[in-house]
Each structure stands twice: as structure tokens, then as C-alpha cells.
Structure 1
Amino acid sequence: MKLEGLLVHQPARGAGYRANVDAFHLARFAAAPTEGRTNTRAVAFDLGAGAGAVGLSLLALHAVHRVVFVEIDPEAAAHAERNAAEHGWSARAQVLRADVADAAEEHAGSAHLVVANPPYVEIGRGRAPAEARRARARMGSLEAFVVAARKLAGRRARVCFVYPARELASLFQTLRGAGLEPKRLRAVHAKNNAPARIVLVEAQPAKAGGLVIEPPLVELIAPR
């Protein structure tokens, strides 16, 4: 998969979790506030990193100095290590083969930025392909990701999630339940005449209010 000028090696189709364009959208969204000013000390945690598409994109965008990739699946973690090495970023990338909760406990308060592309369908809700079910079992629930992100964030870090637009209320409720207040939101539409497909949300440990809704991102302009 090519992303942000990177070649990202990942499992073959049907063999494990594969990143898609949502990873690119999340990285761009998370990097936007830092554009033009690289923080040479900033550390990002990529939760449920898979092969590392989001974290690698943050490095390519000069949004952070270092990324910690948290991935419990051995094959996906190996891909993340290979991808970092092939782009010359081994010294700026650390792969933790761990559950997100365990990683957050060990590195509490260490992040300047946390990014997460969590499982889109909660266990027990709806039907999903076998690959999606395996991903959920591997990665855990939305709440587990949010709680881990909050612990890593400490007092000031930014936390950025990508999630289905139809589940925005659930995402907001879960974030606030963990002490994270949504501060930026951008909806992504497959076409300009279609409902939002996903939402990109930045939250912080902060007081309620001050949500900025950015202009929508349209992936394809439909002909008139």
C-alpha cells in the first residue's frame, strides 16, 4: 500500500488487518495543527497500529519526532518494524507487541499525541466479515482504546480518532466518559452528495466546550 509517499508492507488480503485510506485521513488530520513547525521532542503513540500506516505517515509529515507503535498481533508488528526500517526510521520508531491497556499502563503520560483507528463494530453488535471479527478480537473495544489514550495523554496531549460518522454520538460519549473533551471534528464524505462516511475527532483532557467543526473532506466530486 502506498501512503504519503511510503510503501507500506502489510498482510495479504484475508490474512490479517489491512490499512486503507482512513489511515491517511487520520494522519493528515492529526498532523494539521503542527504543519510548518516540527517538534523535535514530540512522541506519538499509534494504538492498534497494524503495519504502522498512521504512525509512519506522521513521521513522513514531520508531525512528530518519534512514534511508538502498539500492536498485539505478532505478524502485523513485524510488518511495522520492517516498514520503519526500510524507510530509515528504526531509531525513531518503537514497536510494542502489547495490548493497548498494558502499553498505556507502562507509558502513562508519555504521549504528546495519540492516534487510533479502533475497531468499527463493537463486539456483539451487527454482522461483520470474518477479517473484521478477527480484528476486533485482536484489538479490543472502543472503550479500551479511549481509556488507553486518556492514560497516555496525561494532562496536555492531543488524542485523534477516526470512527464511523453514524457512531459519532457513541464516540463522544465514550471520550467524555474517560475525561477527554472533543475539540476538533472533520467529516469525510465519499461523494459531495453523500452522507458523511467517517469522522475525524481530536480530543483533549480539557473543559467542555470549544468544539471546532472544520470544513468537510470530500473524497470524490460527483458529476452534476
Structure 2
Amino acid sequence: MSSPCPVICVSGTDTEIGKTIATAAIAAALTGHGQRVVAVKPTQTGLAPGEPGDADEVARLSGVDVREYVRLPEPLAPDIAGRRAGVALPTVAEHAVRIADLARSGDYDVVLVEGAGGLLVRLDADGGTLADLATALGRDGVRAGFAIVVRAGLGTLNHTALTLEALKARDLDLVGLIVGSLPDAPDLAAETNLDQLRDLADGRWVGAIPQGAAGLAPEEFSRAAGDWVVL
């Protein structure tokens, strides 16, 4: 196998924050630069079999290959949703092996991994998180960093700072910060927060995705993604 390509883990400071649209925008921007991309959703919660999920939305908007490994019906954290459904979840280490195989396959230049909720949401019955998944990839020789999706509005500065501290404490790399949904008419908090978020990013500012971007036609979304997202 060839040397592993990098992995970008897409996490957020909260749930329902725009991680899926951010993942699609990153995928489309990278594809626009000639990169071969695959997007992985290790665990999807809150959907019945056959319903379109986050991975399907990434594929629809960006056109990249996608993988979804586990689907659970209740919209809860994966460990709780799995327990309630009577499903034995794969461990984070097992997810890491599958993702490392994709990174080493030679078929892709970047692997995107969209988490569930925030950085420290439990993905398996042992309490493993997306942060632990990235650590496991690093031990296996696969370079993994984090794109953190943030809100623009009030409260985002504290949530963002806490998430960045959690990354630093675990010696995990920050690829950059990205606003998942920037209102057309930001209020005062959102306007002033953008400058503060750029300061927190410390030179690793990815960009901001406009509110309602998911409603664009896929071709228009993909064309615009390179302007929203700079990696």
C-alpha cells in the first residue's frame, strides 16, 4: 500500500451546528483543487434505514465518495442510541482501522471524517470519542487533524476556546476553524465574534459558510465552496 493520505476530522463546538454542510464544503473545495476525497460518517443517529443521512447530503452537495458505518434510529449520542437499540457498536479503534485502510488505499488524497455532536461525544460503549479516534490514527501512522465547526452568535467564544483547549491537551492538530452557518444579516454579537474567532484560530481560519447554503443546487454549491473555505 502507498503512504497514508491525511485525515481531516470535522467536529464542532455543539450539535446542529452545520458540520455536515461544512464537511460538504470542505470536500467540494478540495475536489475543486484536484484532490480525490472520501467522506466518512462513522455513526449516524436519528434516522431509520433507507432515510438519507449526513453522508448522503455530503455526496449530494459535493459529489465525493462517502461511507456510513453505523446507523441508529434515535437522535441521541451514539453510545446511548446504541444501548437503547440493543446494537453492539464498533469500538473507536475498529473505526480507526477502517479509516486508516481508506487512507492507505491509494484511492484518495484526503479522508474526511464527520463526527457526531462535539469533540468528546462518546462514539462507543467504552467512552471512545472522535478525539480518541484521531489519537488511534496517529499511533497507526496516519496524520489526522481537526476542522472545528463553530457558531457565529453569542456563546461561541467560550465553546470554541474550550474545544481548542481539549485538542491541545490531547496533542491533536487544529486544521482550522469554520463558521457553519453565517447569517445574511449578522447581529452585533456575530459581527464582533468573527474577529475574535479569527484570533482564536491563530492563523488557522478556514472560513464561513453562508446560512442556507444547503439549499443551493449542487453545482452552485461546489462552485462557491472554494470561496467559503480556504485550506
Query: TM-score of the superposition, structure 2-length normalised?
Result: 0.48
TM-score by length of 1: 0.49
Say which structure, 1 or 2, has more relative contact order (CA 8 Å, 6+ apart): 2
Structure number having the greater helix percentage: 2
